[in-house]
Amino acid sequence: MEERDIATVAEIKDLLEENTVSWINVQGLGDENVLRELADLFSIHALALEDVVNVPQRPKVERYDEHTLCITRMALVGDRGIEPEQVSVFISPNYVLTFQERCGDVFDPIRNRIRQGRPVIRSSGPSYLAYALLDAVIDGYYPLLETFGERLEALEDEILGNPQPVILHEIHKSKGDLLALRRAIWPQREAINALIRDENPLITKTVRLYLRDCYDHCVQIMDAIETYRELAGGLMDVYLSSVDNRQNEVMKVLTIMASIFIPLTFLAGIYGMNFEHMPELHFAWGYPFLLAVMFLLTVAMVVYFRRKGWLGWQQNEPRDRND
Q: Are 311 and 256 in contact (CB under 8 A)?
A: yes
User: Which residues, numbered 246-305, are part of the site for a second copy (CB under 8 A)?
Assistant: 246-248, 250-255, 257-259, 261-266, 268-278, 280-287, 290
Q: Quick one: which of 19, 241, 23, 287 has its CA closest to 136?
A: 23
User: Which residues, numbered 60-119, are part of the site for a second copy (CB under 8 A)?
Assistant: 60, 62, 79-80
User: Which residues, numbered 27-46, are part of the site for a second copy (CB under 8 A)?
Assistant: 45
Nearer to a second copy, 10 or 179 (CB): 179
Q: Which stretch binds a second copy (CB under 8 A): 5-13, 36-44, 88-96, 233-241?
A: 233-241
Least Cβ distance, residue 295 to a second copy (angstroms): 12
Least Cβ distance, residue 48 to a second copy (angstroms): 9
Nearer to a second copy, 102 or 246 (CB): 246
**Which of 90, 131, 141, 210 is the binder for a second copy (CB under 8 A)?**
210
CA distances from 245 to 97, 170, 253 (A): 59, 20, 13
Q: Quick one: which of 70, 23, 21, 67 has its CA closest to 44?
A: 67
Q: Which stretch binds a second copy (CB under 8 A): 35-43, 126-134, 163-171, 193-201?
A: 163-171
Nearer to a second copy, 9 or 141 (CB): 141
What is the edge-to-edge ordering of all strands in the sheet holding 95-100? 22-27, 95-100, 81-92, 68-78, 60-63
Q: Which stretch binds a second copy (CB under 8 A): 12-20, 24-32, 192-200, 231-239?
A: 231-239
Q: Is 162 helix (H, G, I), strand (E, B) or coil?
A: coil
User: Which residues, numbered 48-67, are part of the site for a second copy (CB under 8 A)?
Assistant: 50-51, 57-58, 60, 62
Least Cβ distance, residue 189 to a second copy (angstroms): 12
Cβ atoms within 10 Å of 221's Cβ, excluding its own: 24
Nearer to a second copy, 4 or 169 (CB): 169
Q: Quick one: which of 50, 4, 46 has its CA closest to 23?
A: 4
Q: Indicate whether 172 belongs to the interface with a second copy (CB under 8 A).
A: yes
Least Cβ distance, residue 277 to a second copy (angstroms): 5
Q: Indicate whether 198 belongs to the interface with a second copy (CB under 8 A).
A: no
Nearer to a second copy, 15 or 297 (CB): 297
Cis status, amide bond into 56, omega within 30 of 0: yes
Q: CB-based burial of residue 319 (10 Å sphere; 0-12 exposed, 13-18 middle, 19+ buried)?
A: exposed
CA distance 149 to 136: 21
Nearer to a second copy, 18 or 223 (CB): 223
CA distance 140 to 170: 23
Write down the H helix ranges in the chain: 9-17, 32-41, 46-53, 108-115, 119-123, 125-139, 141-161, 165-197, 205-270, 286-307
**Which of 241, 292, 299, 300 is the binder for a second copy (CB under 8 A)?**
241
Least Cβ distance, residue 87 to a second copy (angstroms): 17
Q: Is 82 helix (H, G, I), strand (E, B) or coil?
A: strand
